[in-house]
Amino acid sequence: MGNGEWGTKNSEPNTSGFRLIIAGGGTGGHLFPGIAVARELKTRVENAEVLFVVGRKKMEADILSHYGFRALPIDVEGMKGRGLKKGMAVFIKLPKSIVQSVSIIRQFSPWVALGVGGYSAGPFCVAAKFMGIPTAIHEQNSYPGVTNRLLSKFVDRVFISFEESRPHFLRKKPLLTGNPVRRELFLSRPNAEKPDRFTVLVVGGSQGAKAINEIFVEALASLTNRGKKIEVIHQAGKGDYERVIEDYRARGLRGDIFPFIRDMGAAYNRADIVVSRAGATTIFELAALGKPSILIPYPYATNRHQEINAGSLVRAGGAEMILQKDLTGEVMARTLIRYMDNHPALKKMGENAHKIRRPNSAGVIVDQMIEMLQVTKVKVSRPLQSG
């Protein structure tokens, strides 16, 4: 690159050494699409460097360490649901988080910044934009959160997962990319068919879902009493894991129970059907893998966005949705029996889910980030520092 500067808009840039910061987190659902983009970039671009900027939750650092990515924290929290006093305390911390973001940017010298949702994306993307870094956001859900709605007014690009979120970003003409899916989900081989055994994967998100845990155990007890042979893979969440273990034991039930499932590819492959919340990451994983599902949207999600997320799969015939207010152990048991006894319907549901997948979401976002550099003619001469 010589002087470290891009050429004209129409020239082909030298992307070797591309440096990207991805900001966001709070849940695995926010991080996993960012991980998919990071891996796509490192696969395609020689010597690419990726740094994640997250909050101070141990889970965030653990997930990124597992995938081999470096992360730096900033002091930031969400304001929603904290009340006036605690909300003001969070607001007062924002200048500190912006100063921390500026320090990270100066140290790492990113070519592009990408916000993927979560509290840390807000102050970091503000800092990046005002320091002249090409900045984009990716909205994962059908109804965007406050952070992304505010950021969309001044970032360079807006990527969306669901068409339903487009009206909230009219100023920027958002690009529909879908939600990037981790490639390792496709690496596990499907297990041989088990004609006498039906496998259910229960996953309430990376942190679990107590309501789903309780209702599913009731359903499993009912199915067992009816003589149904069923295998269970159950991600209970760290906070509810011990209670779920005890509930299984007290009822004489069996299942593979985990606080968090590392190898989701293997879990999906074992499953005949998935019982889950309806976060955006889960929706696109189910579609990518063609997995039939029973979706129970989180009832307190902002503007019912999980219900809207689930609707995209339901309308395609790729999932069944049960609202939490309508869900009991008996309702879940009867729903599972209906699919256990009707394999053609189960197969058709999986095929329908597969039809709405967007297999190159991460590739599209990487293409857009490269184009952003060409358009802005960003200088990239500052050397990478290791601090």
The DSSP secondary-structure symbol of 194 reads -
Burial level of 46, CB count in 10 A (0-12/13-18/19+)?
exposed
CA distance 364 to 372: 12
Outline where 53-189 has alpha helix (H).
58-66, 83-108, 121-130, 146-151
Query: Position of tokens 């920027």?
Result: 172
Per-residue pLDDT band at 4 (split at 50, 70, 90)? very low
| Domain-wise residue ranges, the chain | 19-179+360-376, 185-355
Question: What residues contact 32, with CB distance under 8 A and at least 6 apart?
Answer: 63, 180, 181, 182, 281
pLDDT in tens, 82-106: 444 454 555 576 889 999 999 999 9
Q: How far is CA 254 from the centre of its chain?
A: 29
What pLDDT is recorded for position 191? 58
Q: pLDDT digits over 207-259, tens only?
A: 668 999 999 999 999 999 999 999 999 999 989 999 999 999 999 999 999 99
CA dihedral in degrees (191, 193, 198, 202; nearest 10)? 20
How confident is the model over 103-118, as pLDDT tens digits? 999 999 999 999 998 8
Q: What is the mean pLDDT of the chain?
A: 87
What are the residues whose beta carbons fall under 8 Å from the beta carbon of 221, sequence distance 6 or more?
A: 251, 253, 329
Residue with tokens 């159950």: 234
- How far, in whole angstroms, is CA 68 from its chain's centroid? 17
Q: Residue 288: pLDDT above 80? A: yes
In tens, the pLDDT along 144-166 reads 988 899 899 999 999 999 999 99
Strand 293-295 and strand 273-276: pairing? parallel
Q: Where are the beta strands (DSSP E) in the chain?
A: 19-23, 49-54, 70-73, 112-115, 135-139, 157-160, 175-176, 198-203, 230-235, 256-258, 273-276, 293-295, 320-321
CATH number of 185-355: 3.40.50.2000
Tell me whether the CATH fold assigned to 19-179+360-376 matches the one assigned to 185-355.
yes
pLDDT band at 33 (very low <50, low <70, confident <90, very high): very high
Q: Which CATH class is domain 19-179+360-376?
A: alpha beta
For residue 30, what pLDDT is reported? 83
